[in-house]
Amino acid sequence: MGVPILVLGESGTGKTYSIKNFDPEKVGIFAVEKPNLPFRKQFKVAKNATYSMIAEALKDPKLKAYVVDDSQYLLVNELFDRASETGYNKFTEMAKHFRDLIHIVNHQTPEDCLVYFLHHPEMDAATGRMKAKTVGKMLDEKLTIEGCFNIVLCTNVESGNYSFITQADGVYPAKSPEEMFEPVIPNDLAAVDAIVRDYYGFSKL
């Protein structure tokens, strides 16, 4: 039972950049859409990542940390690939594919395997709150993506300073276990990883 961590943020607010301080030998990166990282440090990146590619790696993990970069494109790319299909059934299948990937992390990976889903948000017109971007209504109405994660971090940029919000404030759906983080922390996933492992008593990465 691994630890999925959701990182929500608009494009350009530091989601992918937050990978930079990881040791490249100790993290696996699945790039769903963008093939290149926004810094010079070299990482091994699985490009054009698909559900099957990610699921295969997570069911037999060789590492203790993985990043799914721009995970909402798993949904978006399947939507466009199936654009000519009619009927609601395709939306049910798309929702199930995404749900199943989260469940692999929650139920089939070792407990000290941390998987970061970097995901774009959207504003809920009904509530005025941020939420994870999806396609169709099934994920929103029947599942609620954020509910599958105990840790949800939201990017924040103020005066050129990039950070993560770790607790909900009425707009951001951020959350984390009691006393794990300060309310606002640097956007550094390597530091986040170290804190989470220490909190749960896992060995260091």
> Could you tell me the CATH number of the domain that includes residue 61?
3.40.50
Find, among 124, 123, 46, 51, the residue nearest to 81 by Cα: 51
Domain for residue 142, yes or no?
yes
Asked whether residue 107 is assigned to any structural domain, the reply reads yes
* pTM of the complete model beyond 0.85: yes
Distance CA 77, CA 189 (A): 26
Q: Go through 45-79 and write b for each residue having 16 or more CB atoms within 10 A of its CB, e for each that does not.
A: bbeebebeebeebbeebeebbbbbbbbbbbbbbbb
Residue type, 87: G
Extract the runs of DSSP E, i.e. beta strands, from the chain: 3-8, 28-31, 45-47, 65-69, 114-119, 121-123, 130-132, 151-158, 161-165, 184-186
| pLDDT at res. 89 | 84
Distance CA 182, CA 167 (A): 9
Contact 73, 32 (CB under 8 A): yes
**Does a structural domain hold residue 205?**
no
Q: Confirm whether 138 is domain-assigned.
A: yes
Which pLDDT does position 129 carry in this prediction?
85
Report the pLDDT value the prediction gives residue 138, as an integer from 0 to 100.
77
pLDDT of residue 200: 97
| Domain assignment present for 23 | yes
Strands, E assignment, 54-187: 65-69, 114-119, 121-123, 130-132, 151-158, 161-165, 184-186
Domain presence at residue 171: yes
Instruction: Give CA–CA dist 79/67, Å, rounded.
Output: 22
pLDDT attached to residue 97: 93
- Domain assignment present for 45: yes
Number of domains present in the structure of the chain: 1
Structural domain that includes position 30: 3-200
pLDDT digit string (tens) for the chain, length 205 residues: 899 999 999 999 999 999 999 999 999 999 999 888 889 888 989 999 999 999 999 999 999 999 999 999 999 998 898 888 888 888 888 889 999 999 999 999 999 999 999 999 988 877 888 889 988 777 777 778 898 999 999 999 998 899 999 999 888 899 999 999 999 999 999 999 999 999 999 999 8
